[in-house]
Structure 1
């Protein structure tokens, strides 16, 4: 009975440890997870996940254009295939496109072939849509256990995470003012901000975006793409 209790305890602790690891924005068992870049330059990377959504993308691009701001859009491959014209709109605005997998699954405990397909099919979808720039990668939900880290390490490709994510707090996610206040308080040089403005659930985020851009600009920050931010890292 004692042995069974020990086994159960070990399994529970292992599962808990794996859960904590999967939530980490700064650590992977292989490769590199980047949540922020150490730099003294007053630069910030603004990132958006999911889509592109034909219903809401135009509002986001208009806001960015009005503020002279660039961003990195981490797109879902199946949505890229459905709306390649939106890829062109984003790229024409001077923004960077990232890979957020093809079908947005949790890339945990998947086979190597499935992990590779989710990433490589999305890369190809972006190229087929005419995009020629760098393609950073962000795992859906930030999950990156077992196979994915080794795939990324083998391909010398970091997992782009974040250090400012107001929507992670349910108390903030539906309140535009609260989202704005959180971002303005937490953002610092080298930060990577994560927002989800593409669907109905992102209404508060879209409403907060103009104030976020104005507030950070007033603090002296410049917005850069993820790739531009990575170029500022010390060797």
Structure 2
């Protein structure tokens, strides 16, 4: 009897460990989710990439837009709803400049162990703020911290929304220099890459943008928005 109890306990521990590991892997995966479409890069031979900027808008927005305009680069901005509500003028400027707007939730929480109602609130409140900017293009969704489990993919799938992750991220560690961000980004980029920068809060990332553009263009790359990348649209000057 004692041996059976020990064996049963061991099985429970093993199953719990497997479940925990599986949950961790699933919620952090950049290439898979339980429902709906997820894109982390596009499989293409064309030398095109999508530059994406997460968070904000913040007071760095005008400078970022000026840089992108000078370089004639379209970008996709994954914006946070509460920041849009606080800085509607910046959101409108991004839309007016011809960039693509994406949904990055309203309060930037980890949308893993949450209810469907929480997911709906986070997504739809931000959609409303995006609409107020005057933007009318496609709106994909990027999970805060890249985390998703069941409720978020289920909601996005049932509303025909695409989850967009990334395959190049060189500034997430914090404290990375501009040189390091440029080097890692350029060396990791490949045809169809989705590049993530946190330029709204990191000055080094913002400063890296023109250098990344110049380096990748010297290697024959062009820039498109996320929806253009998914659709296979060729780069055009803004």
1:113 aligned residue (112, 117, 121): 117
Q: 1:45 aligns with which of 43, 50, 57?
A: 50
CA contact (8 A) 2:84 2:129 kept: yes
Aligned counterpart for 1:10 among listed residues 15, 27, 33: 15
Return the offset for 1:173: 4.8
The 5 A counterparts of 1:216-231 are 216-231=216-231
Kindly state the Cα deviation for residue 198 of structure 1 after the two structures are TM-superposed. 0.9
| Alpha-carbon displacement from aligned partner over 1:135-172 (angstroms, at most 9, x marks no partner) | 1111111111011111111112111000101124x3x8
**Alpha-carbon displacement from aligned partner over 1:10-54 (angstroms, at most 9, x marks no partner):** 112211111111111110011121000112222110000000002
Secondary structure, counterpart of 1:167 in structure 2:
coil
Deviations 1:153-203 (A, max 9, x none): 1112111000101124x3x8512111111111111111100110111xx12
2-structure distance, mates of 1:75, 1:173: 22
Distance in 1, matches of 2:232 and 2:213, equals 21
Q: After the TM superposition, which parts of structure 1 deviate over 4 Å for at least 4 consecutive aligned residues? A: none
- Quote the RMSD (CA, aligned, Å): 1.4
**In structure 1, C-alpha distance between the alignment counterparts of 2:99 and 2:133, rounded to whole Å:** 15
Work out whether residues 166 and 173 of structure 1, in 8 Å CA contact, stay in contact via their aligned partners in 2: no
Q: Report the secondary structure of 2:171's partner residue.
A: helix
Aligned residue number for residue 194 of structure 2: 192
Q: Distance in 2 between matches of 1:43 and 1:93?
A: 21
Give yes or no for contact 1:173–1:205 (8 Å, CA) kept in 2.
no
Segment of structure 1 superposing worse, 120-129 or 67-76: 120-129
Q: Under a length normalisation based on structure 2, what TM-score does the superposition of the two structures give? A: 0.91
Aligned residues: 228
Shift of the alpha carbon at 1:6? 2.1
- Which residue of the partner structure matches residue 168 of structure 2? 164
Distance 1:120 1:230 in 2: 23
Q: Equivalent residue of 1:98, what SS? A: strand
Which structure has the larger Rg?
Answer: 2
Query: Relative to structure 2, which stretch is displaced further, 125-134 or 208-217?
Result: 125-134
| Aligned equivalents of 2:97, 2:17: Cα separation in 1 | 49
Give the 3-state SS of the residue equivalent to 1:48 in structure 2.
Answer: strand
CA distance in 2, matches of 1:133, 1:122: 15
